[in-house]
Amino acid sequence: MPLPPLESPQWKNRFRAFAWGMSAVGTTVLALVLFATYLGIGALAHDTHFSLGWALASTLLIWAGPAQIILISTLGSGATVVQAAVAVTLSAIRLFPMVVSVLPMLRTPQTKRRHLILATHFIAVTLWVECYRLLPRVPRGSRIAFVHGLGCGLVIVCMIATTLGYQLAANLPPLFAAAILMLTPLAFLLSTARNCKEISDVLALVLGLALYPVVAMFHTGVDVLISGMAAGSIAYGVHRWRRRSA
């Protein structure tokens, strides 16, 4: 469904703006990738013995695919709550710059901080990308309602995918269950590769993939953290060194 023109008086109606935001979910290819990812997360939660309700609560409360995968896979492989919390915290730092860059697009001079709390919760990589694409076509005063609709729509899609993935992993023959679990690494690898803009991003991705198996041989319990910090810092170092020598 196409959005009405910016000057249309229909935008004044908040419910309409919300509904347009929700229907915008159907216009993005990323919703498909998200669906595939959450199928994988549902299946992962099932295979690591979490309950379906817990998996759904994690989708609703965390609303960040990588964090959910890190939480489920670290807890599932026997890490302590503290180790899992540290790994998730580090992975979540990337939400900070996303929030910082999206919120100025939503603000009007009348906007109070509390008006932005729900929209802030919805910010993760998909919403961040879609805001850049869609918000220029939404009048500023209606953007918060629009983003609430978009966020709710994406959450609903992912809750359905989480449930489906969980049920499928429980009932499918191992061949298809394996295929659903494979969606997670594939979708994350490729969507991350797609977002790589600078040499530091590419290096971080490649080194991060390669270093983990090496660090995992030491069985520290925080292998993902160590390899991630090391690979990310090396990538950043190369970025600095190239900038200085350029």
What lies within 8 Å, CB to CB, of 209 at 6+ separation is 189
Among 99, 152, 160, 164, binds other proteins (CB under 8 A): 99
Calculate ∠ Cα 17-115-91, nearest 5°: 100
Reduce the DSSP state of residue 134 to 3 states and report it: helix
From 64, 134, 150, 158, residue interacting with other proteins (rule: CB under 8 A)? 64
Q: Do 131 and 102 form a contact (C-beta atoms < 8 A)? A: yes
Give 3's DSSP letter. P
The residue within the footprint of other proteins, chosen from 36, 127, 131, 135 (CB under 8 A), is 36
- Footprint on residues 179-238 left by other proteins (CB under 8 A): 179, 181-194, 196, 198, 200-201, 203-213, 215-216, 223-225, 227-233, 235-236
Say whether residue 127 binds other proteins (CB under 8 A).
no
- Residues in contact with other proteins, counted by CB under 8 A, come to a total of 109
Q: How far is the CB of 208 from other proteins (least distance, A)?
A: 3
CA distance 141 to 19: 15
Which stretch of DSSP H or E encloses residue 7?
A: none
Cα angle: 58, vertex 132, 184; to 5 degrees: 35
Residue 101 vs 108, nearer CB to other proteins: 101
C-alpha–C-alpha distance, residues 158 and 156, integer Å:
5
Rounded least distance, CB 5 to other proteins, Å? 30
- If one asks whether residue 1 binds other proteins (CB under 8 A), the answer comes out as no
- The terminus-to-terminus CA distance of the chain in angstroms comes to 48
- Residue 157 sits in the site that holds other proteins (CB under 8 A): no
d(CA 236, CA 105): 29
Question: Rule CB under 8 A: is residue 17 a binding residue for other proteins?
Answer: no
69 binds other proteins (CB under 8 A): yes
The nearest distance, CB 51 to other proteins, in angstroms, is 4
CB nearer to other proteins: pick between 50 and 146: 50
Q: Residues 76-95 vs other proteins: string with x where CB under 8 A? A: xx---xx-xx-xxxxxxxxx
